Each structure stands twice: as structure tokens, then as C-alpha cells.
Amino acid sequence: MISRVTYAVVSAALLLGFLVIVATGVQLMSTGDRLAVGIGICAEVLVLLGVWFLWKTYRFGRRSGALARELEAEGALPVDELARSAGGRIDRDSADAVFARRQAETEAAPEDWRAWFRLAVAYADARDTPRARKAMQHAIKLHDARA
């Protein structure tokens, strides 16, 4: 819940910033000065890229959340079985052991989106965010192809 609120607040602030940049870009383009027009156009393009990135991130979060809810309804969400330090940090050896098991499950069933979802969680637990994201994207792709 806190992450949703944080995402909403940061997104709203980012969209407000985008509006300011768009207004500034329009003002620059209306001056008629070639350099100002060029900077204004660049500002508008950057805003478009920012909006696209924000949309992709939002969509990824919604779709991965939908998969988590589906797994939860099936009673198949991965269980947190990781050993932790007194401070709450995940033990690296424990994360590696769970990851090896999840990777073997995924290799045994490469077309199962559930296995890819659990592998993405294992990657995230091992602090490998880029691979976690790719594994989750693959799980989403497999889930959507099934539906």
C-alpha cells in the first residue's frame, strides 16, 4: 500500500514537472529565435519520452500485480523461506539456494508463467533487479499468450 501511495505522489509530481516543461517549451518556441525553438522542441520530446516511460512503468506494475493476485487466489505465491540477519537483510547463501531451485523449476517448465514469476521474485531477492524485471516481463508475456 505504501509503495502505491509513493508511486502516486512521485508520478503526480513528475506530471506536474512535465506540465511546467511543456509550458516553458511552448514559450521558447513562440519566441521565433532558432536556438530557443530548438531547445523548446527538445523539451517537448523529452516530456514525451518521460510520459512514455511513466506509462510503461505503471503498466508493468499493474500487470505484475495482476499476476500476483492470480497466484494468491490459487494459493501458489512463493513463500518467503529466506534466512535473514538480525537486521532483516536476506542471507546471500539462502537467496542463492532458493534461486537455484527456482531456476531449475523454470528450466523444467519454460512455458509456465508461474515458474517465471517465482524466478523473478528470486532474482529480486538476490538483488538482481534487471534480471528480475526481464523474468517478470517474460511471465507477463507467457500469461497474456495463454489468455
Q: Give the CATH architecture of domain 92-146.
A: Alpha Horseshoe (1.25)
Q: What is the pLDDT of residues 98-115, one digit of tens each?
A: 999 999 999 999 999 999
Query: What is the rounded CA–CA span in Å between residue 124 and residue 50?
Result: 25
Q: Over the chain, what is the mean pLDDT?
A: 93
Q: How sure is the predictor about 84, in pLDDT bands with cuts at 50, 70 and 90?
A: confident
